[in-house]
């Protein structure tokens, strides 16, 4: 899974996670309901990524944690939970983001084999030729 129960609580708070998952009115987060939706959301993400990257990831990119949480939140809205415009819009934004990854417009910092792309560590400075040297100004000042 790309996200955990703790990620959901960190992002949305305990109270909202209870309201999204507590189907038996116990006042607690229902871990089974939460985990099933997290698994479903992760599978949805894999559906977008599998054309570009090998899934599942050994070490998933952290950017996918929040995306998975937004999908999970959307999936948990249903019969007894109110769907809001903000929840729907976050889900739609996440889907557009995943579509861009699938199309190759956004990368996850990985090669197509799933290896992390390492950036260069050195800086390189290149200067051009002199603009106002003696040769350009006829040997003197302006």
Q: What is the pLDDT of residue 56?
A: 78
Instruction: Identify whether the C-beta of residue 56 lies closer than 8 Å to the C-beta of residue 68.
Output: no
Q: What is the pLDDT of residue 106?
A: 87
The C-alpha atoms of residue 10 and residue 23 are separated, in whole angstroms, by 21
The C-alpha atoms of residue 129 and residue 126 are separated, in whole angstroms, by 10
| Structural tokens at position 72 | 């999970």
Q: What is the pLDDT of residue 35?
A: 97
Q: What is the pLDDT of residue 131?
A: 63
Give this prediction's pTM.
0.76
How far, CA to CA in Å, does 53 sit from each of 60, 98, 116?
A: 11, 12, 11
pLDDT values of the chain reduced to their tens digit, one per residue, 142 residues: 899 999 999 999 999 999 999 989 999 999 999 999 999 999 999 999 998 888 877 777 888 999 999 999 999 997 666 788 899 999 999 999 999 999 989 888 766 665 666 665 656 666 666 666 666 666 665 5
Alpha carbon 96 to its chain centroid, in Å, reads 11
Q: What is the pLDDT of residue 60?
A: 75
Q: What is the pLDDT of residue 128?
A: 66
Task: Enter the DSSP assignment of 2.
Answer: -
Closest CA to 116 of 62, 42, 50: 62
């Amino acid at each position: 899974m790309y996200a955990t129960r703790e990620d959901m609580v960190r992002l949305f708070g305990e109270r909202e996670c209870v309201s999204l998952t507590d189907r038996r009115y116990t006042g607690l987060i229902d871990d089974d309901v939460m985990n099933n939706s997290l698994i479903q959301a992760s599978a949805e993400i894999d559906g977008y990524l599998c054309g570009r990257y090998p899934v599942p990831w050994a070490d998933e990119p952290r950017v996918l944690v929040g995306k998975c949480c937004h999908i999970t939140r959307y999936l948990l809205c249903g019969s007894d939970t109110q769907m809001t415009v903000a929840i729907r819009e976050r889900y739609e934004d996440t889907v557009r983001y995943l579509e861009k990854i699938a199309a190759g417009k956004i990368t996850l910092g990985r090669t197509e084999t799933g290896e992390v792309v390492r950036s260069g560590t050195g800086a390189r400075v290149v200067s051009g030729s002199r603009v106002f040297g003696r040769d350009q100004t006829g040997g003197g000042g302006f």
